[in-house]
Amino acid sequence: MISLRKILYGVSIESTLGSMDRKINNISFNSQNIINDSLFVSIKGEKYDGNKFIEDSIGKGANVVICEGYPLKINSKITYIKVLNSKKALGIISNNFYKNPSNEIKLIGVTGTNGKTTCATLLYDLFNSLGFNAGLISTVEIKFLNFKEVTKNTTPDSIKISSCLKRMVDSGIQYCFMEVSSHGIFQNRIYGLNFKGGVFLNLSHDHLDYHKSFKNYRDVKKTFFDSLPKNAFALTNLDDKNGKFMLQNTNAKKKSFGIKAYADFNCKVLEVGFSGMLLNIDNREVWTQIIGNHNAYNLLAVYSVAILLKQESIDVLSHLSKLKNVIGRFQTIQTSKKRYVIIDYAHTPDALKNILRSINEIRTKNERLITIIGCGGNRDKKKRPVMGKIACILSDIVIFTSDNPRDENPKDIINSMIEGVPLDCSSKVLKIVDRKNAIKKGCEMLGAKDILLIAGKGHEKYQEIKGKTNEFNEYKIVREIISKIE
């Protein structure tokens, strides 16, 4: 429970707020007037019903309760406000409580299955490089100026978002670039925020355990663009088959980018190597240190956003060339014996395919590509055999191992991945359940100029096993192993 000065709330929910919007919006949360009051927002989620915690919250000082249904026991000293959607109410309350900070900052949301972290982080780096004060809310971290906080959810809850935006506004931050996840949209974590722009990168197989179907997943993403105001921009990737669909009903100014399709912003990949890429963006050549054809889309999206935010093309391209890879995204380690180890967050079929294709386009084929891959437990099981198939078709050797097995048996997860392996690829496969041992084996197998891809965890510095979060930093582990075997 949090005092009303910070707002007290329950767990997560999905539904619809109706006639109470206006009333909630008019509630005054001036802390000087309600110093002795506390508010509890009862939220019904998949596992817990916030109404079960109302009595406990009252015992801890709450005297205003917002709920979707009145509790069986009514306390005459408590004010109950019934709404159709507590999560949306919480979004409005959070915004009001923190004085609507998204109105005072240029907030840009980035959504898509893959590339959200890279795109949002590169935008943050670019605008700081251009001389602005920028903030970032991403899967990896929330940061601005000297403030930095490690995050776990792609999109934080509405209280966290509003409080962070308020701190940014108070610190003079002009732009904030935020990842917008399908969970965050569906659970109304971004409800009531005033976005100045939205970016759609791509859509592929992910989170179907939660959304139940690809259509549901796609439609949830679309609602983000449906909600953008007229004075915002909506930027979409025309090379993705869902690109035009996302912008069908938006009121925002429609803009597009693409490499294959003719769009408002275009790019060509002229050269690619392990040291970087040469791109032609809007008829100007630029060398970037960031690697991979899939990252050409991310860089083009970043460029497009900058231009839509009224930045000069020459300045943007100049600073774009100085940007470096995001941690855990195509993060390359070259050993003293000219062997490469690449760490990447690829944890969806499309992301894995993109990173493997990018590596295969760079390599000479005179060396081997070894891939270490696992899948997360308690998550979408349908993608496991798909990822197993992709890894084997596009690699010379594949080591199946654990990712974050959570409550599942990692051997069962690995076996699910192997179900997708074609018969003619079965000789390529190794199974090593312990991820550290798998990385050690992969490093030891590296011959001259061979390439090792460690996919799935990227920036994560932990491994979730049976309810425990264990320290696991792949970059450090690789460095330690390499130092011992070279």
Domain ranges of the chain: 8-97, 101-320, 331-485
Tokens 């004010």 locate to 79
Per residue in 209-221, pLDDT (tens digit) is: 555 577 888 889 9
Domain 331-485 = CATH 3.40.50.720: no
The encoded tokens of residue 209 equal 């355990």
Is the fold of 8-97 the same as that of 331-485?
no
Question: How many CB atoms within 10 Å of residue 410?
Answer: 22
- pLDDT greater than 50 at residue 27: no
Per mean pLDDT, which range of 103-107, 155-159, 240-244, 250-254 is the poorest? 155-159
The arithmetic mean of pLDDT across residues 41-68, rounded, is 86
Secondary structure of residue 455 in the 3-state scheme? strand
- pLDDT greater than 80 at residue 291: yes
Conformation bin of residue 436: beta by default, left when phi > 0, alpha when psi is -120 to 50:
alpha
- Categorize the per-residue pLDDT at 145 as very low, low, confident or very high, splitting at 50, 70 and 90: very high
Confidence (pLDDT) at 248: 96
Where is pLDDT greater, at 139 or 465? Answer: 465
Helix, strand, coil percentages (3-state) for the chain, rounded to 5, are 35, 20, 45
- pLDDT greater than 70 at residue 31: no
Domain 101-320: which CATH number of 3.30.70.20, 3.40.1190.10, 3.40.50.800, 2.40.70.10: 3.40.1190.10
- pLDDT greater than 50 at residue 8: no
State in words which class domain 8-97 has: alpha beta
Mean pLDDT computed over every residue of the chain: 88
Confidence (pLDDT) at 147: 93
The secondary element (H helix, E strand) that includes residue 154 is: none
Conformation bin of residue 441: beta by default, left when phi > 0, alpha when psi is -120 to 50:
alpha
Per residue in 360-414, pLDDT (tens digit) is: 999 988 899 999 999 999 988 999 999 999 999 999 999 999 999 999 999 999 9
What is the arrangement of strands in the sheet containing 134-137, beginning at the earlier edge strand? 147-150, 141-144, 134-137, 175-179, 106-111, 197-200, 233-237, 253-258, 265-273, 276-281, 284-288
- Categorize the per-residue pLDDT at 153 as very low, low, confident or very high, splitting at 50, 70 and 90: low
In single-letter form, the type of residue at position 156 comes to: P
Report CA-CA distances (Å) from 299 to 59, 241, 265, 291. 52, 19, 11, 10
The encoded tokens of residue 482 equal 């390499």
The secondary element (H helix, E strand) that includes residue 472 is: none
Confidence (pLDDT) at 213: 79
